[in-house]
Amino acid sequence: MRTALVLGTGLIGTSAALALSARGVRVHLGDRDPERVRTAASLGAGTEGEPEGTVDLAVVAVPPAHIASAVAEVQRRGLARGVIDVGSVKGGPARELARLGGDPASYLGSHPMAGSEKSGPLAASADLFEGRPWVLTPVGAGSQGGRGTDTEVLNLALELIALCGAVPVVMEADAHDRAVALVSHMPQLLSSMVAARLESADETAVRLCGQGIRDVTRIAASDPGMWVDILSANPGPVADILAALARDLEGTVGALRSLESAQEGERSAGAAGVEELLRRGNAGRVRVPGKHGQAPAVYESVIVMISDRPGELARIFADAGAAGVNIEDVRIEHATGQQAGYVQLMVEPGAVRALERELRERGWAMRAA
Ligand SMILES: NC(=O)c1ccc[n+]([C@@H]2O[C@H](COP(=O)([O-])OP(=O)(O)OC[C@H]3O[C@@H](n4cnc5c(N)ncnc54)[C@H](O)[C@@H]3O)[C@@H](O)[C@H]2O)c1
Ligand SMILES: O=C(O)C(=O)C[C@]1(C(=O)O)C=C[C@@H](O)C=C1
């Protein structure tokens, strides 16, 4: 692929454009908001404005409600040989494109399973998609009454995914939508529900927020407009999962009420009910793939105290590097009301001793993991 057009220079479009530009693809940038195009271009994502001729691939990275019309427009104007979108839902936009008379052969639905609670070009990064699944939903000949996805477009999309360092996964559109209802759309709503409990909570409780609630509520900061769009295109599958969760909630409330009972038999039934849920949670959690989609690795933590001064994090990473230790993952825990916090460095179990020794020698204070 030599040339591309990225339409929608927000978080996802600019991240893809940065990755493509870094690998030598000539990228043109478009957005209905010219300020966003300017920002993306200034970050090195590509050049402002439409191409003069036809580019190899157009990447439509606009909110789900606008995908079909944007794809149809790119096709009508002959701006690209192939068009993909990156929307979080796949069935609805494809059907809408067919209704608008778009060409299903030169269009391919796609969805990178990477993102953030932040939006806009300033949140973008070239390595956002590294090692992440990137779903493709090609259609076979005869489906939607026409030709199937052109092989050329499929190959261009595979090249884009390779250039972004992601891992292609081929799925049928509606099966994709049912899968992401479980692994993305329901978690978004639950995160919002948990965070919503804090809205009018007492300040004395909010001050005690620790890492658990930070983990569970990060995505509650996401853009409501975008998520209304996503959920409007996938309401049934998400509602089915929430209904099953409601049954779990009801069972757990019942178990906790039993724990309040004066009768020992009822209390132990309540404890068993709560324990069963927690064990099911353990069993589900171990199925979540780790970095690069592999089975979750078992890392050990080294927890280092840092002060809230510029450059502290970089210094820890440099010192870990000096010990020859690869940091597999990192978490930061801010200490409430203090100019300090803890950095949890996740490393291979065999590397813990060497890392601790090196950090201690270099003056870092550590807490037991
Ligand atoms: N945010 C995530 O975590 C994530 C992850 C994977 C996929 N997606 C999908 O990627 C797409 C983009 O999401 P984002 O997070 O980058 O959003 P964003 O808000 O950061 O960017 C969307 C951009 O599209 C532009 N836009 C809107 N309508 C347009 C139109 N008709 N023509 C041209 N530009 C238009 C907006 O001005 C904005 O710059 C969405 O379809 C979303 O479902 C998002
Ligand atoms: O990491 C995040 O912030 C995300 O929520 C990204 C996430 C997800 O649910 O995994 C959100 C929506 C997208 O469609 C794809 C990815």
pTM score, whole prediction:
0.86
Nearest ligand by distance to the CA of 191: 2
Query: What is the per-residue pLDDT across 317-333, written as a single tens digit (0 to 9) for each?
Result: 888 888 888 887 777 77
Task: Please tell me if the CB atom of residue 11 comes closer than 6 angstroms to any atom of ligand 1.
Answer: yes
Query: Quick one: which atom of ligand 1 is closest to the CA of 15?
Result: 16
Q: What is the mean pLDDT of residues 289-304?
A: 78
pLDDT for residue 328: 77
Location of each CATH 3.30.70.260 domain in the chain: 300-367
d(CA 77, CA 183): 36
Confidence tier at 316 by pLDDT (50, 70, 90) = confident
Question: For the structural domain made of 3-171, what CATH number should be given?
Answer: 3.40.50.720
pLDDT for residue 327: 81
The structure tokens listed for 194 are 């948990």
Nearest ligand by distance to the CA of 68: 1
Task: Please tell me if the CB atom of residue 184 comes closer than 6 angstroms to any atom of ligand 2.
Answer: yes
51 within 8 A of 33, measured Cβ to Cβ = no
- Looking at the predicted structure, is the pLDDT value of residue 337 above 80? no
Query: What is the per-residue pLDDT across 63-122, written as a single tens digit (0 to 9) for each?
Result: 999 999 999 999 999 999 999 999 999 999 999 999 999 999 999 999 999 999 999 999
- Looking at the predicted structure, is the pLDDT value of residue 341 above 90? no
Location of each CATH 1.10.3660.10 domain in the chain: 177-285
pLDDT for residue 193: 98
Task: Please tell me if the CB atom of residue 176 comes closer than 6 angstroms to any atom of ligand 1.
Answer: no
Confidence tier at 295 by pLDDT (50, 70, 90) = low
CA of 183 to the centre of ligand 1 (A): 20
Q: What is the mean pLDDT of residues 19-29?
A: 98
Confidence tier at 230 by pLDDT (50, 70, 90) = very high
Q: What is the mean pLDDT of residues 133-152?
A: 84
Location of each CATH 3.40.50.720 domain in the chain: 3-171
Residue whose CA lies nearest to ligand 1 atom number 3 = 115
Query: Quick one: which atom of ligand 1 is closest to the CA of 229?
Result: 43
ipTM above 0.85, yes or no: yes
The pair phi, psi for residue 111, each rounded to 5°, is -155, 105
- Looking at the predicted structure, is the pLDDT value of residue 291 above 70? no
Task: Please tell me if the CB atom of residue 32 comes closer than 6 angstroms to any atom of ligand 1.
Answer: yes
- Looking at the predicted structure, is the pLDDT value of residue 244 above 70? yes
d(CA 332, CA 304): 10
d(CA 309, CA 316): 12
Question: For the structural domain made of 300-367, what CATH number should be given?
Answer: 3.30.70.260
pLDDT for residue 225: 97
CA of 115 to the centre of ligand 2 (A): 5
Confidence tier at 221 by pLDDT (50, 70, 90) = very high
To which CATH superfamily is domain 177-285 assigned?
6-phosphogluconate dehydrogenase C-terminal like domain (1.10.3660.10)
- Looking at the predicted structure, is the pLDDT value of residue 127 above 70? yes
Nearest ligand by distance to the CA of 63: 1
Task: Please tell me if the CB atom of residue 120 comes closer than 6 angstroms to any atom of ligand 1.
Answer: yes
Which of 184, 188, 238 for mutating ligand 2's site (highest number of atoms within 8 Å of CB)? 184
Task: Please tell me if the CB atom of residue 86 comes closer than 6 angstroms to any atom of ligand 2.
Answer: no
Task: Please tell me if the CB atom of residue 192 comes closer than 6 angstroms to any atom of ligand 2.
Answer: no
d(CA 11, CA 2): 22
Residue whose CA lies nearest to ligand 2 atom number 8 = 184
Q: What is the mean pLDDT of residues 292-296?
A: 64
Task: Please tell me if the CB atom of residue 7 comes closer than 6 angstroms to any atom of ligand 1.
Answer: yes
CA of 62 to the centre of ligand 1 (A): 4
pLDDT for residue 191: 98
Nearest ligand by distance to the CA of 61: 1
d(CA 61, CA 19): 14
DSSP annotation of 297: P
